[in-house]
Each structure stands twice: as structure tokens, then as C-alpha cells.
Chains A and B, each alone.
Chain A
Amino acid sequence: MGKFTRRAFMATGGLVGGGLALGFAFAPNRLTIYTADPDSADAQLNTWVMITPDNKVVVTVPHAEMGQGSQTGLPMMLADELDADWSTVSMVQAPATEIYANSDLARGFVLGDVSLPNSIFRLLDYSLFKLSGMIGVQNTGGSSAVRYTGNMAMRSAGAAAKHMLLQAAATRWGVSASSLTASESVVTHAASNQSATYGELASEAALMEVPLQPTLKSPDQFTLIGTSQPRFDIPSKVDGSAEYGIDVEVPGMLYAAIKHAPVFGSKYQATNLSEVRASRGVMDIVELDGAIAVVADNFWRAKIALDMMELQCIGGDRQSMTSAQIYDRYAEAALSEDGSYDADIGDTAAALAQSDRIVKASYRVPFLAHAAMEPLNCTASVTKDRCDVWVGHQNPLGARAAAAVAAGMDADNVTIHNRMLGGGFGRRTPTDFVTQAVTLSRQVGAPIKLIWSREEDIQHDMYRPAVANHMSAALDADGMPTAWTNSYTNSGQNEPAESPLTQYAIPNQSIKGVDVDSAVPIGAWRSVGHTQHSFFNESFVDELAVEAGIDPYQYRRKLLADMPRHRKVLDVAAQKAGWGEPLPAGRARGIAIEQSFGSIVAEVAEVSVSDDGDVTVHKVTAVIDCGTAVNPDSVVAQIEGGIIYGLTAALYGDIEIADGCVVQTNFPDYPMVTLQQAPDIEVHIINSGEAIGGVGEPGTPPIAPAVTNAIYQITGKRIRNLPISAHDLS
């Protein structure tokens, strides 16, 4: 870490011609708000906001843009505290360095400016990493950006800058700061009829003491937060000018196409190398860990040469593995008495023994690929003393670390040039493709752009884990549950920790995970553990309602009597969806609710099933309570998108394993919802004023159970394993 000073100075390096640059600097175990000291050569100011003499505000955003709108929402949060004129605000993306890392922010702001013994610090760092890092990686926008970076860093920086601007004006005019008002980037002293713009005051403001704990607005004082603002990134996305990782051009760059050995854990051996080498444009063939790559002067040439290669898959111990085996093994494992408990409340065994209304069910969900629209790619240039990487990545720091290892150099010599992401959904958090590109560049001695084909993307993902479980419940005379048990398989990625829990008030609970080996590589997938557990929990509670003979909405309502936020979300969803109102024959509604990433979402799906068994989802009504919706239109968009993502999975999503390989290859056999199947979606926002919740992920979990619960109403068939398309509903 560099040397820092509490005294404020103009950041002449960053701001030619004066102005105010304000950010946070991190010393080991401490976090403070600083401005830069130009005398300290190594001062590393992590700048969050700059105010230039021509009255422009530039906000640095540490999160990548995947379309979730964080690069607009975060500046809004800062600008609101600053009382800036929104039309003068722009953003730049932060470089990938530790000082912009989420965990530092979370740590700093949770602890304040205090020193800690190292031992505690490490522990805390880990839990905060889980808090900010793990959640953050899944969706660098909705689920972490606004909650942590926004609420903590952005708002504080805006409030601190405003405080300093007021101080500067007070000093200039010889009046008290409390007699001043600030609005729309102008400070006014009404009594003397004087005013000055932020730009005019910025250089003087930079000389003021930095407030360590600036006063933040209360929600009723927000002027920008809560209003729908057009996203900064959208214009570049309608004319082709937005630059994604795959669009990067580096002088002297070559292209690489890659094939991974299909059986997990195996290797490839090629036999006709000389023929492939002679193909037009081919420059090199490189063997990688479990894969082979062809390097050429054009991607297509690399790709056809690769396709020409006669490859033999050797080694690995999973050649005969199938989905059926995996599922059997999981179902068996979930029967185990052992496991680690998420909830062990009361005495479920006694409650089950006492009840004569027992409901039992076993559920299962498959592996899923992410299939982000932009196939995985990474461009790397390794020279003797430095490594440059151009990539769209959800975790640029992780990418930097992986690149450093692959390049055989210090992370300080690695620069990550983060580009827009053509979708991430969790797949752009692992670093496998970064390692490959860096390895290729190092080996070939030229900048390399590596692009995975869609087939590689589908067949060599880090999959959403398959999970199987066994559930049981005991009902009392009124049909309400007295006991709830759930034993499920946990192959890792069981995050967030609360995802298996039931949200309902049930006196006796036994919820536990039994460790299993996943058999295939797994990773975080939009909303992580909530995707599986919401399907299990919200289907099973529906089964209980049916057994009790109570309307599924009313049944949930009763169980949420002590949870007013949940109850309100559920009520509004039911009301907006016209719950209980008559529908055409063959149509029904299903409902589900899930709290995830700090937001509560309920969805009502209106579904029909044709005589042939074809399922149509006509309409989805969604309600979200995310505390405060920063940019409401972006919240609506994220819920719409989360529903489509979850609906694709519910209807069709299935990664099957046969002969140790993934069966699906590309969109024709791993189909997606398109306009044809996309329901009308209506999203309602409840601003409860509670802590700000994520929005990128919470739309996804409730849709699968909402749809299958509706299908049950129509057909009497309870879908206990996904996807829906695997069931004959005719």
C-alpha cells in the first residue's frame, strides 16, 4: 500500500487544471476516506468521484456491466448524496486492483476506521468475502453492487464530497456551512444571494478536511434514487459500438479455437497433426490441460482446422458415467441419516410420529449450463515482463491472479482490461478460459484471442449442480404443518447458506445437506442455491396445501403471519394477478415466493396445458420488495430477465450425461425460451424502505415452482423433477 495523508490535496495527476478527486484508500486493516497527496509518488487513491472545474462529475464504478445496470445505478446513488445535476454525471470503469475489491469495501464499512488484530481480521475477511465476494461474483450488479458498493462506498463518497463543497463555499463567503443549501450541483447562500457551481468550488473543496463519517440522507430525502433513469450503456448497444471481450483487437493478434476432451477428466491425443498444420492460416497447435487448441490468423481458419483434427480421448475414469447413475447415487445419498444441518429445530421425529397426516415427496433438478449469449473468450498478450488480458469478467481480480500464475509472473505485472460482458450468470466468474488464453500467448509468443465455440461452452461449463432430496411433513388437524424435513445432496455451491431453509413458520424442522461428489465441474448459476431449493420448498408447500385442502395462496399466507414483508409481497402478487378470478378452461395459476439476496419476490404464473401436453405460460405477475429500488426501470428489467432465465431452465433445461460426456451441444438440443414462448410479464415494486436488496438474481427462483404448481392445478400431475419438457402431460 502506498503512503496516505489525511490532509486533502488536489489530485493534480488525475485532474489537470484542478478540481476535486475523492476516494477511499486502504491501509492494512484500516479504511479511511482520503484525497490524494500529489507529493507522495506512490499514493494510490482509489477514486470514486471527481468533480472537474467545468462542473462535470465523473464516478468510478468497480463493477463490470453485464446489462444489470449497475454502472448507472451506482452513479445515481453517489449523485443523489452529492445533490449533483444528473445530466452532468458520467462514469468510468475501475481498473482491476485490490483497492476496488468488494471485500475491502464491506470490511471497511462494517468496521469503520478501526484497527484489528490480524487473526480476527483474517476470519472476518473470510466471512465478508463470502458476503460480498461470493454473492458479488454471481451477479456483480444487482446482488452486490448496489447493496455493498453502492450503499457503502458510493453514497459515502457523494456525501463526503458534498460536505467538502459546502465547507469550501462557507470559507469563500465567510458564512456558516449550515446556512448553505446544495442542489443540482450548485451551492447557494440564500441570505446573501450568492451561489457557485460545484465546478467552481471543486479546487477549494479539495483543500477541506475530509469527513470520516459523512451524514447520509434518509430515504425520504432522496431525489434521484427511486427515479427511473436511462442506462448509460444502452446507446452503445443499439449501434454495435459496445465493445465486448470478443471484439477486442490487439496488433499482431492471432486466433485460437479450442476443443476439450469430452469425458470429464480425460485428455486428447491428435493423430493427423501434419495435415492440420498445413491448413490455410494455421500457425500452431497447442496442447492444454484437458484440451487442444489450434492457432491461426483468423478464427474460422482455426476452427475448421480444429474440426479436421482426428482426436482420441484418452484416460479419465468416468467413461461410463450416465445421468441415471448420478441421480441414483444422489437419491441414495440423500437417504443418509448423516449430513450437516441448516436447521434442526424442535423434534421432527416426535411430530411426525404424532401426526396421521404425513406428506412425503422426493425431488430432483438436473445440471444446467449457463449459456451466456457471448461465448467464452479471452485475449491475452504475454511478453517478457508483462501480461495484458482483455476479457469480460465478473471477477477481474480472480482473473488477474489466474493470469499471473499462467504467465509465471507477479500479479503486479498483469493488467486486466475488463470489457463489457455478453452475459455472465456466474459463468464469467471462474478463470479457466483466462488461464488458457494466457498459456497460449505465452507458448506461441504472440497476442492470442481464444474463443470457445458454443459446443464447448455447453459441454465444458461449470454446471449448476444437480440436487436430489427427500422431504416429509406432518400436518395438524387444521392441515397446517407441524414438522418439515428435507435431506438433500450437497455437491458444493450450496450458497447462500440460507437457501435450503424454509421461510415458513413451522415449529419442528430438520433440514440438512448430505455431501456428494458432483461428478461434473460445478459453479454458481444465477441465484445459486436458491434455484434448486426454491423449487423444492415452494413445490412441497404447495403439496401440503393440496393435502390440507386449502388454497395455496391462503396456505402460504397463514404460514407467513409473522412475516409482514413476505406477506405483503404475496398479497400484492395475488391481487395483481387476479388470484381466484375465473380463467378460461384448461388454464390455472400457480404461486411461489422466495427471499434471496436481500429481496423478496413472489410470482404468479398463468399457465395452460394443451391436450397434447404442451405447456404455455401466458402471463407472469411478479412483485419484488428490494427495500429501495434505486433505478426502478432497471429493477423491472432484471426481474423480467430473471423470470425468462428461470423459465428456460424450468421448461427445457437439462444437461444430461452419457458415456462420461455431456449430451447437449448447442441451442438446438439445449433450447431457450424465445419470443414465441415468452409470457407477458408484469412487475410491481414495493419500496419498503428496508435494507437494499439485490435484483439480478431474485427474479429467477420462484418461476419454476410457480409454473409447476399451476400445472398441478390443471393436470393433477405434480412435477417433482425438472425440466417440465421431460414429462408427458397429455
Chain B
Amino acid sequence: MTIELRVNGVSHQLDIEEDMPLLWVLRDELGLKGTKFGCGVSACGACTVHVDGEAMRTCTLPVGAVDGADITTIEGLGADQAHPVQIAWIEKQVPQCGYCQSGMIMAVAALLDENPNPTRADLDDTITNICRCGTYQRVRAAVDELSQA
């Protein structure tokens, strides 16, 4: 069936199965490789993007369920690494291998949009993304910096 998506401001019409997860549509059909596959079962957050402004895990999200939606991926978050979260991430040198960081950044950006001054508990409860490199200390430091701004 034909699915319509707006991704990072560009409209696409795709002839694909509606049960194909958005993750694979983004990566393999649209060539947007910044969104990562980590677990495929909504357990790690590596595949997080914004769907109509809300953080969503895309590895189990059928593309049919977001037909017509406005989607922002890490590639569309900020030009030239200029989004405040990206700036803070560089400043605090958060990423190690970096593989989880697209999802981590998208999740944090959505949280801060909604709650500019999250408490530690807010952060712990909302950002359940897995980082195998263990960058949590720096994620916290970067969010602290962002919420004081």
C-alpha cells in the first residue's frame, strides 16, 4: 500500500507493507542511517525518533500506524550540530562508541521540549535508553547543563 510520510521536512510516498517497522523504512527505504537498530523489541531506544514531536521507538512501530505523520530523525534535529542537546553532548564529550547516541539524543530532546527542567527522577524514569558503553554519567551532566540554561 502507499504510505505518506514527512521526514525531516521532506515528503515521501512509499509503496511498502504497512506492517514494516518505521525503523527499516527510514534506514533501508529512505537511506537515513542515523537511526539505529539495537534490539528490535522496543527495549533499548537506539531507534528513537520524533513522531509529531513525540519520542517514539521505531523498531516495533508499523509504518502504517504513522501514515501521514511528521517525523524528525537525528539527521533533521539540528543543522551543523547546532541543536542545544547536540552542543551539550559535544561539550560534555558524552558519546563513546556513539551507537546509542542518536536515540539517546532524540529521547532527551523530546523530554526537554516537554519538561525543560527535569529532576533526576524525571530523567531516570523517562530516559530508559540502553548505552552499553556506560555514558550515563555524562548524559546526566549534559542534561543538567541544559536544564539550568
Which of A234, A371, A373, A681 has the most chain B CB atoms closer than 10 A to its own CB? A373
Contact of A422 among B27, B41, B99, B137 (CB under 8 A): B99
Q: How far is the CA of A374 from the CA of B98 in the complex (A)?
A: 10
A510 within 8 A of B: no
| A-B CB contact pairs (8 Å), 16 listed | A66-B96, A67-B97, A231-B93, A238-B86, A238-B101, A240-B32, A240-B34, A240-B73, A298-B20, A299-B24, A372-B99, A374-B36, A375-B37, A421-B97, A454-B39, A633-B93
B68 within 8 A of A: no
- Taking CB atoms, residues of chain A closer than 8 Å to B100 are 373
A243 within 8 A of B: yes
Question: Are B36 and A674 in contact, CB atoms less than 8 angstroms apart?
Answer: no
Contact of B128 among A236, A638, A645, A676 (CB under 8 A): A676
B123 within 8 A of A: yes
Question: Are A640 and B38 in contact, CB atoms less than 8 angstroms apart?
Answer: no
Q: How far is the CA of A680 from the CA of B141 in the complex (A)?
A: 10
Question: Are A249 and B40 in contact, CB atoms less than 8 angstroms apart?
Answer: no
- Taking CB atoms, residues of chain A closer than 8 Å to B17 are 280
Q: Which residue of A lies closest to B29 (CB)?
A: A298
- Taking CB atoms, residues of chain B closer than 8 Å to A178 are none
- Taking CB atoms, residues of chain B closer than 8 Å to A299 are 24, 27-28
Q: Which residue of A lies closest to B126 (CB)?
A: A675
Of residues 92 through 149 on chain B, the ones whose CB sits less than 8 Å from some CB of chain A are 93-102, 105, 123-125, 127-140
Q: How far is the CA of A595 from the CA of B105 in the complex (A)?
A: 35
Contact of A243 among B33, B102, B133 (CB under 8 A): B33
- Taking CB atoms, residues of chain A closer than 8 Å to B139 are 675
- Taking CB atoms, residues of chain A closer than 8 Å to B128 are 674-676
Question: Are A641 and B99 in contact, CB atoms less than 8 angstroms apart?
Answer: no
A423-B132, A674-B136 known; A242 vs B98 contact (CB < 8 Å): yes
Of residues 48 through 66 on chain B, the ones whose CB sits less than 8 Å from some CB of chain A are none
A244-B99, A667-B39 known; A238 vs B90 contact (CB < 8 Å): yes
A675-B127, A676-B128 known; A637 vs B93 contact (CB < 8 Å): yes
Question: Are A240 and B28 in contact, CB atoms less than 8 angstroms apart?
Answer: no
Q: How far is the CA of A241 from the CA of B33 in the complex (A)?
A: 8
Q: How far is the CA of A299 from the CA of B36 in the complex (A)?
A: 13
1/0 per residue, CB under 8 A from B, across A374-412: the answer is 110000000000000000000000000000000000000
Contact of B36 among A241, A246, A453 (CB under 8 A): A246
Which of A230, A371, A374 has the most chain B CB atoms closer than 10 A to its own CB? A374
- Taking CB atoms, residues of chain A closer than 8 Å to B133 are 67, 373, 423, 641, 644-645
Contact of A374 among B28, B41, B86, B97 (CB under 8 A): B97
Question: Are A230 and B89 in contact, CB atoms less than 8 angstroms apart?
Answer: no
Q: Which residue of A lies closest to B78 (CB)?
A: A239
- Taking CB atoms, residues of chain B closer than 8 Å to A240 are 32-35, 73-75, 102
Chain B contacts to A: CB under 8 angstroms: 17, 20-21, 24, 27-29, 31-41, 43-44, 46, 73-75, 77-78, 81, 85-86, 89-90, 93-102, 105, 123-125, 127-140
Question: Are A668 and B43 in contact, CB atoms less than 8 angstroms apart?
Answer: yes
Which of A423, A454, A643, A675 has the most chain B CB atoms closer than 10 A to its own CB? A675
**What distance in Å separates the Cβ of A642 from its nearest Cβ neighbour in chain B?**
7
1/0 per residue, CB under 8 A from B, across A294-319: the answer is 00001111000000000000000000
> Knowing that A298-B28, A372-B132 are A-B contacts, what are 5 other residue pairs whose CB atoms are under 8 Å apart, sorted by A's residue number?
A243-B33, A373-B97, A637-B138, A678-B134, A678-B137
Question: Are A674 and B129 in contact, CB atoms less than 8 angstroms apart?
Answer: yes
Question: Are A642 and B134 in contact, CB atoms less than 8 angstroms apart?
Answer: yes
Question: Are B34 and A239 in contact, CB atoms less than 8 angstroms apart?
Answer: yes
- Taking CB atoms, residues of chain A closer than 8 Å to B105 are 238
Question: Are A675 and B90 in contact, CB atoms less than 8 angstroms apart?
Answer: no
Question: Are A672 and B86 in contact, CB atoms less than 8 angstroms apart?
Answer: no
Question: Are B97 and A423 in contact, CB atoms less than 8 angstroms apart?
Answer: yes
Question: Are A422 and B124 in contact, CB atoms less than 8 angstroms apart?
Answer: no
A420 within 8 A of B: yes
Q: How far is the CA of A66 from the CA of B133 in the complex (A)?
A: 9
Question: Are A300 and B21 in contact, CB atoms less than 8 angstroms apart?
Answer: yes
Q: Which residue of B lies closest to A640 (CB)?
A: B137
Q: How far is the CA of A301 from the CA of B135 in the complex (A)?
A: 33
Q: How far is the CA of A421 from the CA of B96 in the complex (A)?
A: 10
- Taking CB atoms, residues of chain B closer than 8 Å to A641 are 96, 133-135
1/0 per residue, CB under 8 A from B, across A206-244: the answer is 000000000000000000000000110111111111111
- Taking CB atoms, residues of chain B closer than 8 Å to A238 are 81, 85-86, 89-90, 94-95, 101, 105
- Taking CB atoms, residues of chain A closer than 8 Å to B81 are 235, 238-239
**What distance in Å separates the Cβ of B113 from its nearest Cβ neighbour in chain A?**
17
A451 within 8 A of B: yes
Q: Which residue of B lies closest to A68 (CB)?
A: B96
**What distance in Å separates the Cβ of B139 from its nearest Cβ neighbour in chain A?**
7
A373-B97, A676-B125, A681-B137 known; A666 vs B29 contact (CB < 8 Å): no
Question: Are A373 and B99 in contact, CB atoms less than 8 angstroms apart?
Answer: yes
- Taking CB atoms, residues of chain B closer than 8 Å to A371 are 132
Question: Are A241 and B38 in contact, CB atoms less than 8 angstroms apart?
Answer: no
Q: What are the 5 tightest A-B residue pairs by CB atom distance, in nearest-first order?
A: A240-B34, A644-B134, A422-B99, A67-B96, A237-B98
A560 within 8 A of B: no
